[in-house]
């Protein structure tokens, strides 16, 4: 698999589109290697007053290093990887540098990178877990915040397990359950062709897929022992990928990505005996990212700024987010928005207001 890799930009390191991080229990396949993205355009400047708090820290990194890739597991724990100099991957003359924070970016601690020179460096994180991929040398896994690492030649089981209890086995397309050591295909498989995502909460599972341009989905209430196909209303336009999401308040959604990956997606909400197409009024034509956040609300960023879908309408929001910010939801429910030069964290219910925090890691 992640949705990687990037310079403060969210990338698709664990899954394409909505995954980088997951919302609720969206299941992500282990990441596939990728090359660093091209430099992005500068983010729109936001006044400091737009944020409730700005956490700006300078670290002792030589100026020749490119901006870091930063990944948070929750609102407090995150890591930063400096993996290139002047656009060139890490090498003996430009070793990868690794930093960690345990206080939401108020302070950063330098960590020892176990394999600082490699052709391709990647960083992944989940609660209590830090995983580094240094190609062609292999994987390096830490469960103690980067103090020690264990080396493996393939994706470590602890990382595979971190993708969720229920996952899709990429090689077979079957739904499987993680038993603590390996993925075991379920005895009863859903009748959904082309499954590409699994979302789950406890024993409730939602799978989604596409076949011949037609979306399909099914739900299991009992850990995959029984499956119920639910009719999906025809989409409003062409879609290329269908993804399942269960949000923080247990509402199930389907998100149909357009072929160009920028047009406003097709969006369904589970209701009654099927999936109801949500076609919000006043929606923008193009977006950058979209995540359901609970309570029937879906947060969006795009060229028009930030907005929210609620009650089948699109509302522009005066939030401190730019068109460059890419949204994900962290394991603890924190909204995370990554831009070219910062990470914005927001907690609190979206119906009662949020606390907006801007995290900036300077090195030049």
Mean pLDDT of the 20-28 span? 30
Reduced 3-state DSSP string for the chain = CCCCCCCCCCCCCCCCCCCCCCCECECCCCCCCCCCCCCCCCCCCCCHHHCCEEEEEECCCCCCECCCEEEECCCCCEEEEECEECCEECECCECCEEEEECCCCCCCEEECCCCCCCCEEEEEEECCEEEEEEECCEEEEECCCCCCCEEECCCCHHHHHHCCCEEECCCCCCEEEECCCCEEECCCCCCCCCEEEEEEECCEEEEEEEECCEEEEEEECCCCCCCEECEECCCCCCCCEEEEEECCCCCEEEEEECCCCCECCEEEEEECCEEEEECCECCCCECCEEEEEECCEEEEEECCEEEEEECCEEEECCCCCCCCCEEEECCCCCEEEECCCCEEEEECCCCCCCEEEEEEEECC
Higher-confidence residue of 326 and 88: namely: 326
Using 50, 70 and 90 to split pLDDT, how confident is the model at 316?
very high
Percent of the chain with pLDDT over 90: 75
Q: What local confidence, expressed as pLDDT, does residue 352 receive?
A: 63
Using 50, 70 and 90 to split pLDDT, how confident is the model at 87?
confident
Q: What local confidence, expressed as pLDDT, does residue 47 receive?
A: 57
Mean pLDDT of the 29-35 span? 37
pTM of the model as a whole: 0.83
Q: What local confidence, expressed as pLDDT, does residue 30 receive?
A: 37
pLDDT in tens, 218-264: 999 999 999 999 999 999 999 999 999 999 899 999 999 999 999 99
Using 50, 70 and 90 to split pLDDT, how confident is the model at 45?
low
pLDDT of 330 strictly over 80 = yes
pLDDT of 312 strictly over 70 = yes
Using 50, 70 and 90 to split pLDDT, how confident is the model at 26?
very low
pLDDT of 290 strictly over 60 = yes
Mean pLDDT of the 98-119 span? 97
Using 50, 70 and 90 to split pLDDT, how confident is the model at 142?
very high
């Amino acid at each position: 698999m992640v949705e990687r890799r990037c310079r403060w930009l969210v990338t698709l390191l664990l899954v394409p589109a909505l995954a980088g991080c997951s919302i609720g229990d969206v299941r992500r396949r282990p990441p596939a290697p990728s090359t660093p993205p091209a430099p992005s355009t500068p983010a729109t400047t936001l006044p400091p007053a737009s944020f409730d708090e700005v956490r700006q820290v300078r670290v002792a990194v030589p100026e020749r290093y490119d901006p870091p890739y930063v990944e948070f597991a929750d609102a407090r724990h995150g890591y930063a990887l400096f993996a290139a100099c002047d656009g060139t991957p890490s090498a003996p003359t430009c070793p990868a540098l690794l930093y960690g924070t345990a206080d939401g970016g108020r302070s950063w601690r330098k960590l020892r990178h176990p394999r600082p020179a490699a052709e391709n460096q990647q960083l992944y994180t989940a609660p209590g877990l830090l995983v580094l991929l240094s190609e062609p040398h292999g994987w390096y896994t830490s469960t103690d915040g980067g103090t020690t690492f264990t080396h493996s030649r393939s994706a470590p089981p602890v990382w595979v397990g971190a993708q969720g209890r229920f996952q899709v086995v990429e090689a077979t397309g079957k739904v499987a359950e993680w038993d603590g050591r390996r993925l075991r295909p379920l005895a009863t498989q859903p009748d959904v062709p082309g499954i590409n995502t699994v979302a789950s909460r406890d024993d409730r599972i939602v799978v989604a897929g596409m076949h011949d341009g037609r979306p399909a989905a099914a739900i299991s209430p009992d850990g995959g022992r029984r499956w119920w196909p639910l009719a999906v209303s025809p989409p409003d336009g062409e879609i290329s990928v269908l993804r399942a999401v269960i949000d923080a308040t247990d509402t199930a959604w389907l998100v149909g990505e357009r072929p160009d990956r920028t047009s406003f997606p097709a969006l369904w909400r589970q209701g009654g005996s099927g999936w109801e197409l949500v076609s919000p009024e006043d929606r923008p034509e193009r977006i950058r990212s979209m995540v359901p956040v609970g309570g029937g609300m879906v947060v969006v960023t795009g060229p028009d700024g930030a907005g929210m879908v609620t009650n089948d309408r699109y509302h522009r929001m005066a939030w401190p987010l730019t068109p460059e910010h890419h949204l994900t939801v962290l394991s603890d429910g924190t909204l995370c928005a990554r831009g070219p030069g910062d990470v914005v964290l927001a907690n609190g219910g979206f119906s009662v207001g949020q606390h907006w925090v801007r995290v900036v890691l300077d090195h030049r």
